[in-house]
């Protein structure tokens, strides 16, 4: 069984389009995250949610909007896509919540490779 899953795995789209990436975890974790890995392979956190509540919101454009319908899902919606948004986006989850989720091991999904043309 896949612990943290993401869809789609690959996403190719035109500039200006709006797209969503979905993430689901079946580990029963309280905290979920979105990370961006750029072309230089550097990973940086974008958002963190605990029990559907936003905990961490890094300095990302407000074109990026996370949505957590329940604690097992954290989706990422991106408006007006730009060339610089091309990257691999990883979802992750960890056991503990309330901001203390970072104390625990984080489990990552397989990534969504986004290419904006």
Name the β-bridge partners of 44.
36
Q: Kindly state whether residue 60 participates in binding other proteins, applying the rule CB under 8 A.
A: no
Q: Binders of other proteins among 65-104, rule CB under 8 A?
A: 90, 92, 99-100, 102-104
CB of 45 to other proteins, least distance (A): 5
CB of 79 to other proteins, least distance (A): 24
Using CB atoms within 10 Å of the CB of residue 112, give its burial: 0 to 12 exposed, 13 to 18 middle, 19+ buried.
buried
Contact map string, positions 15 to 54, toward other proteins, x by CB under 8 A:
------------------x------xxxxxx--x------
CB of 66 to other proteins, least distance (A): 14
SS3 assignment for 40-92 = CCCEEEEEEEECCEEEEECCCCCCEEEEEEECCEEEEEECCCCHHHCEEEEEE
* Residue in the block written with tokens 């104390």: 103
**Which residues of the shown chain bind other proteins in the complex (CB under 8 A)?**
4, 33, 40-45, 48, 56, 58, 90, 92, 99-100, 102-111
């Amino acid at each position: 069984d896949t612990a943290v899953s993401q869809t789609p795995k690959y996403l190719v789209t035109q500039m200006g389009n709006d797209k969503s990436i979905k993430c689901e975890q079946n580990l029963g974790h309280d905290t979920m995250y979105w990370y961006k890995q750029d072309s230089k392979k550097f990973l940086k956190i974008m958002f963190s949610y605990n029990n559907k509540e936003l905990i961490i919101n890094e300095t990302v454009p407000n074109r990026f909007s996370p949505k957590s319908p329940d604690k097992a899902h954290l989706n990422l919606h991106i408006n007006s896509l730009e060339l610089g948004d091309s990257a691999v986006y990883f979802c992750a989850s960890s056991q503990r919540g309330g901001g203390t989720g970072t104390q625990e091991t984080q489990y990552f999904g397989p990534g969504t490779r986004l290419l904006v043309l």
